[in-house]
Structure 1
Amino acid sequence: MSARNSLVRRTSGSRGIGETVVAPPSGPEPGWWSLSPERARTLLLVAARPTITALAATVLLVLVVMLTTGTDLTSAPAAVAATWLAAHQVPLTVGRTTLGLLPLVPTAVLVWLAARECARAVPNRPTPVELGWLTGAVLAGPLLMTAVCLAVTGDAAGVIPLESPGPIAAFGWVLVLYLGAAAAGIASRAWSSVCAFVPIEIPVWAVLGARAARRTVLRMLGCAALATVISFFVHLSRLDGAFQQAHNATDVLGMTLLSLLYLPNVVIGAAGILSGAAVLFGAGSVGLFGVTGGHMPVVPALIPVPEGPASPWWAVLLLVPLAVGVLGGIELGRTSDDRPGAPWATLTCAALSTLTFLVLAILGSGQLGAVGWVGVDLLMLVVLMVTWFGFGGFVGMVFARRFLTPTEPEEDYDADDEYEYEDYYYYDDDEYDDDPADDDPVEYDDPAVEVDGELVEDFDDELEVSIAAPGSTDEPADDIVDVEVVESDLPDEDKTPGR
């Protein structure tokens, strides 16, 4: 038995003798706007569940804070609306104070919830229409809640000194955040299907550079977090002064919680300082090469910020981003086809890493009342990070190509490449004799098949015939069935003419 005949695929157009063939339903195909009840229920959960969860947590937090501090509950709706907008990085203006520097922890949690819900609802083999419906569902709930919060803050402007933010800024931030959540959720489950929709082929070096950029960003953030922790313990003596405005245990707990919510902002600022860029505090700045005095809020989150004057050894910290870039280049030198004359994956890694930090720096900065604009110097951040990651990556890539053994590129496991086992029928290997003697070639007479009353002895292995059910007076159908002849190992005495 040949290996070709040990696996027979059953096609959707084939049928056997006596089987009833059901014709496909006639009529126009359903349009893109039609949804099955099950799919509509799934999309409704995607739109509602993250929004309801976030709203419930916001209401609970506001009520706990207001009851703890003894605040009148009449302003609770406005506080809930303002908290929802602040969690989505929408700047708020209270009286004459503008608060644009907002914590990133609530934003990250909301985006993660939406991305997880989106990933659960991605079909196995999605179509562009299905992905469009899914993206719309991810955006629908937050946009609706943002519209309600804008209306509430507008009505409360006459009761409390809270100005309603502009609709362009509010809806713009929500669109950007949840489009990113939808993209992350879809890519985590159907990356190969999304790539298939792209009209051009994505180069291998671009994919490898993107993967290396992800690891580079995580390494740099890890180094920044470690530097933040070390600086916190070095300046632990400032702890008493950071809580000097706290009058009781509730104030201490609130300031501690607020500092934890701002911790990602501090880590992003530390990454900027390690690259050589300065962190601006209004008119003041803090960097590796100098500290300019300015007005800084006294909160526990800013304890790790170094004080001046700058020490000469601080410049040694520039080796951190350089080392991160070299490590990424070594990986690309071993897994990609990069060479000194064509370092495309290395340059892609440096560009995407820098772009990621630019986006994080924009998210982690903003206006802070009377202090002014607080955040990393964006121009210096871009110039320095692309330099460290690009130059360091190039050095690491050249070192790996010359002194290290290249390895094969890693390939992601793709569930879409699996065979559909339910469409295949396997014969048991035990039914066949695996005796080596059977490997000798055996000549058989060409079998004969009766077609239209005549014996056909000479025909190819694959013959197209039309088969009708026994006893049927109808003419054979026009459907063609691919018949593959499987020659069984029959004894000589069982061979009869016509078989």
Structure 2
Amino acid sequence: MSSRNSLVRRTPGSGGTGETATAPPSGREPGWWAPSPERARTLLLVAARPTITALAATVVLVLLVMLTTGTDLTSAPAAVAATWLAAHQVPLTVGRTTLGLLPLVPTAVLVWLAARECARAVPKRPTSIELGWLVGAVLAGPLLMTAVCLAVTGDAAGVTPLETPGPIAAFGWVLVLYLGAAAAGISSRAWGSLCALVPIEIPEWAVLGARAARRTVLRMLGCAALATVIAFFAQLSRLDGAYQQAHDPTDVIGMTLLSLLYLPNVVIGAAGILSGATVLFGAGSVGLFGVTGGHMPVLPALIPVPQGPASPWWSVLLLVPLAVGVLAGIELGRTSDDRPGAPWATLTCAALSTFTFLILAILGSGQLGAVGWVGVDLLMLVVLMVTWLGFGGFVGMVFARRFLAGHAEDYDEYDTDDYEDDDYYDDTDEHDDYADDPVEYHDAAVEVDAELVTDLDDDLEVSVAAAGSDTEPTDEIVDVEVVESDLPDGDKTPGR
């Protein structure tokens, strides 16, 4: 018997070459407190690159504004520190004026930069320790820069009327924003690993509801943005009055840029109005059922805000959140079919969507000097948003179950969870022939020439006598041991 005619069993870690895996070098492996040098460099980039980029943009913007307006550069450090804090939604007090209503565009850009950097640094199969290091890196840079900015504003108290913000509010806002950025970045690359850290099992209806909530929020914001654009062009005649305080082209450019920075705040307020809630402007308010006069800032971004008494047809706009909820219910009714968890998924969608709008409303509101508190009525927003989205979701789910049940069955028939190994079973003619007649397929496969030699991984050669040939069996025929556990289930031959 040839020594080559033996069955080679591959061992894990051999790479398919038959070689034994080399043992790892002896020594104590580094603990959780000591990441590898390559990983340490990655974490350093996560901590430093978004912060340095944001700081550089802040310095350039402040210097450009100060040089354009002819302001003394001695207050530049305090202005840079105040701009950094304002970009993170930290309320500022200048003299006796408190500015808590801050634009959301810089905040969104900073969070997006941190989330993108975090997503790039997520390992393929992260562990809880690696995720902890990554979250710490995302928080380290902004927290350090916030501490520096607080110290700078404290030292500049004698030069500028800017008061030092409270450290609890400053660090609290930075922690909340960048924890959200870290969660967004990690979930975009390792959603399964993030869910594995939850101590309880997440039900399927909760996952479906969360995905539907994301689409619901985007649809509602899209409708609010469209309503804002339509209202802007409907009241375009007020544009001249919005620029009445501009004395030169520099003021016009500054007011226009400021309006663009506050545009997300306006869209969030429009979403609240579409749900039936009221947007407060100090003592005044604006809603679908009434407009109360009050002092309103003169800004081009506020041109879409309606004036005068409320029109009766404004109540028709309540169909917008209802339609958004119905659409989410139809999607959940089709994808979940008649499962008992479908109503819970609909309720989860409404609750998470409402919670998201509550967070956005908090971010888009605040104290605005002498005007007072500006923002959506939070209690009305929560009650009305969850009512419209929840009721509309149940209506859409019932409609999908009753009239779209056939489509849901077709969808579930090819559920991807039931065919995880479809990539292995290719739909070829050979597979179809085997399914039609397994015995004939087997007989045709073993009718080979007596001189045919099969080479398995260059280590296994077996000579097989042809079935039905005149050659008598001899002692040269090699008995081959077949281990069924090494073969895929789909390749087992019947009757063997």
Q: In structure 2, how many angstroms separate the alpha carbons of the residues matched to 1:22 and 1:216?
A: 53
Q: Does 1:366 align with 2:381?
A: no
1:68 deviation in Å? 0.4
- Tell me which amino acid in the other structure corresponds to 2:117: E
Aligned to 1:159: 159
Secondary structure of the corresponding residue to residue 408 of structure 1: helix
Structure 1: distance between partners of 2:216 and 2:394? 14
Per the TM alignment, residue 13 of structure 1 is displaced from its structure 2 partner at its CA by: 7.6
Question: Aligned ranges for residues 115-130 of structure 1 at < 5 Å?
Answer: 115-130=115-130
Contact 1:55 1:84 in 2 (8 A): yes
Judge which range, 485-494 or 189-198, deviates more. Answer: 485-494
Evaluate the alpha carbon distance shift between residue 490 and residue 128 of structure 1 in structure 2; reply closer, same or farther with a 3 A threshold.
farther
**What amino acid sits opposite 2:476 in the alignment?**
T
> For residue 408 of structure 1, what is the amino acid of its counterpart?
Y
In the other structure, the counterpart of 2:46 is 46
CA contact (8 A) 1:279 1:285 kept: yes
The answer for the alignment partner of 1:380 in structure 2 is 380
TM-score by length of 1: 0.82
Unaligned runs of 5+ in 1: 1-5, 422-428, 444-483
Kept in 2: contact 1:50–1:114 (CA 8 A)? yes
Q: Counterpart of 1:40 in 2: which secondary structure?
A: helix
Displacement of 1:203 after TM fit?
A: 1.0
Contact 2:279 2:285 in 1 (8 A): yes
AA aligned opposite 1:489: V
Question: For the residues of structure 1 that align with 2:331 and 2:52, how far apart are their CA atoms?
Answer: 43
Kept after mapping to 2: 8 A contact 1:47/1:140: yes
- Secondary structure of the residue that 1:119 maps to in structure 2? helix
Does residue 443 of structure 2 align to residue 440 of structure 1?
yes
CA distance in 2: counterparts of 1:226 and 1:14, whole angstroms: 57
8 Å contact kept, 1:101–1:366: yes
Tell me, in whole angstroms, the C-alpha distance in 1 between the residues paired with 2:305 and 2:266: 9
- C-alpha distance 15-257 of structure 1, shift in aligned 2 (>3 A): closer
Q: Deviations over 1:7-27 (max 9, x none)?
A: 97642389999x676444334
Q: Is the 8 A contact 2:336 2:342 kept in 1?
A: no
Show the counterpart of 1:150.
150
Q: Tell me the equivalent position of 1:472.
A: none
For the residues of structure 2 that align with 1:264 and 1:363, how far apart are their CA atoms?
Answer: 10
Q: Partner of 2:65 in structure 1?
A: 65
Match of 1:131 in 2: 131
Q: How does 1:1-150 map to 2 (within 5 A)?
A: 10-12=11-13, 22-150=22-150
- Displacement after TM superposition at 1:440 (Å): 2.9
- The residue type equivalent to 2:383 in the other structure is V
Give the distance between the partners of 1:137 and 1:411, measured in 2 at CA: 39
Higher relative contact order (CA 8 A, sep 6+): 1
Deviation by residue 1:200-238 (Cα, 9 ceiling, x = unmatched): 221111111111111110110000000000000111111
CA contact (8 A) 2:51 2:141 kept: yes
> Residue type of the partner of 1:369?
G
Match of 1:223 in 2: 223
1:71-121 per-position Cα deviation (integer Å, ceiling 9, x unaligned): 000000000000000000000000000000000000000000000000000
How far apart in 1 are the matches of 2:415 and 2:366? 40
Q: Percent identity?
A: 82
Displacement after TM superposition at 1:198 (Å): 2.6
Mapped partners of 2:81, 2:171: distance in 1: 14
| TM-score, normalised via structure 2 length | 0.82
Structure 2 unpaired stretches of 5+ = 1-6, 425-429, 431-436, 447-458, 480-496
Query: What RMSD over aligned residues (CA atoms) do the two structures have, in Å?
Result: 3.1
Counterpart CA distance in 2 for 1:390 and 1:38 is 48
Q: What do the CA deviations read for 1:42-72 (whole angstroms, capped 9, x no partner)?
A: 1111000000000000000001100000000
SS of residue paired to 1:93? strand
Structure 1 residues 497, 268: CA separation in 2 closer, same or farther (over 3 Å shift)? closer
Task: Tell me if the contact between 1:338 and 1:346 (Cα under 8 Å) persists in the aligned partners.
Answer: no
Matches of 2:250 and 2:415 in 1, distance apart?
Answer: 52
Counterpart CA distance in 2 for 1:243 and 1:98 is: 24
Q: In the alignment, what sits opposite 1:294? A: 294
Q: Distance in 1 between matches of 2:443 and 2:150?
A: 83
CA contact (8 A) 2:255 2:300 kept: yes
Confirm or deny: 8 A CA contact 1:44 1:137 kept in the other structure: yes
Q: Distance in 1 between matches of 2:296 and 2:126?
A: 51
